[in-house]
Amino acid sequence: MTDDEIKSYLSNLRSKIRVTKIVATRSVKGKQGDTYAGFSASWDSVQDDSGGGIEGLISDSGEAQSGLSLRDARVAHLMVAMQADLAAHDAALSGGNISVNYHAEATKVIRNNYTVRMRELLATNKSVEAK
């Protein structure tokens, strides 16, 4: 990619980032120390930190106007946490803190474990909120 293409790509990506609601941080311990990664993300939601209270976020019908259900939030958290895990391992590999083989095995296990858990959450007929 040329410098202009990279700049355009990064600008486009930055304009689409939504950050705040769901947070996941990870560290990978390696021969040269710890490597950290953290993500915070939201999907089409509004966070009102102005101190106005929840009243402004509730419609006349009593329903919340934005945000995720607890079930959706738990699945979204797993999605973000998986990316944080993968990013921490990518950074550890890039910094020479873990081997290529360790990275390959770890990312395979991470993807599998998160996929299994997301499938479990999505397959349940019971409301996650009740747990």
Residue 6 resides in a domain: no
**Model confidence, pTM:** 0.62
Residue 103 resides in a domain: yes
By percentage, how much of the chain surpasses pLDDT 90?
A: 27
Which carries the bigger pLDDT value, residue 88 or residue 10?
Answer: 88
Nearest residue to 67 via CA among 49, 42, 98, 86: 42
| Residue with tokens 């391992």, as numbered in its chain | 89
* 23-27, 64-68, 114-118, 124-128: which is most confident: 114-118
Cα separation, 83 vs 33, whole angstroms: 21
The residue type of 59 is S
In which band, very low, low, confident or very high, does the pLDDT at 114 lie, cut at 50, 70 and 90? very high
What lies within 8 Å, CB to CB, of 63 at 6+ separation is: none
Cα separation, 125 vs 131, whole angstroms: 12
Residue 12 resides in a domain: no
pLDDT tens digits for 57-111? 444 555 444 556 667 778 888 888 899 999 999 999 999 999 999 999 999 999 9
Contact criterion met (CB below 8 Å) for 8 and 69: no
Residue 60 resides in a domain: yes
Q: Which residues constitute the domain of residue 69?
A: 17-130
Residue 111: C-alpha distances to residues 3, 4, 35, 41 (Å): 32, 33, 19, 19
Residue 3 resides in a domain: no
The pair of three-digit structure tokens given for residue 75, joined into one six-digit string: 């699945």
Identify the pLDDT of residue 59.
47
Residue 4 resides in a domain: no
Residue 5 resides in a domain: no
Cα separation, 114 vs 75, whole angstroms: 10
pLDDT tens digits for 32-49? 788 878 877 666 655 554
By percentage, how much of the chain surpasses pLDDT 70?
A: 65
Number of structural domains the chain divides into: 1
Residue 10 resides in a domain: no
